[in-house]
Amino acid sequence: GAPVGALVGGPKNFIEEAWRLRKALGGGMRQAGVLAAAALVGLADFEEVLQRDHQNAQRFAKGLQELASP
């Protein structure tokens, strides 16, 4: 849901400090509204997607184990 990085959440003072540090380290935000919209979609659908992703990860891990590759 956050196509170009991560989404930070927390108390207002934490967000303000994260924002300050991001700016101090040279990070700029372009098209913040478009990116926030994608993050909101991800948050709205995360339960269904998380369950599916977990099942896919389990299937992938089982497949790797069955290969018995070092």
This prediction's pTM: 0.40
Extents of the domains making up the chain: 12-67
Q: What percent of the chain has pLDDT over 90?
A: 23
Task: Please give the chain's pLDDT, 70 residues, in tens.
Answer: 555 667 788 899 998 998 888 777 766 666 667 777 877 887 887 888 888 889 999 999 999 889 987 6
Q: Is 6 helix (H, G, I), strand (E, B) or coil?
A: coil
Burial zone of 42 (CB within 10 Å; 0-12 exposed, 13-18 middle, 19+ buried) = middle
Q: Which of 28, 21, 14, 24 is nearest to 5 (CA)?
A: 28
pLDDT of residue 28: 65
pLDDT of residue 62: 92
DSSP character string of 10-67: S-HHHHHHHHHHHHHTT---SSHHHHHHHHHHHHHTHHHHHHHHHHHHHHHHHHHHHH
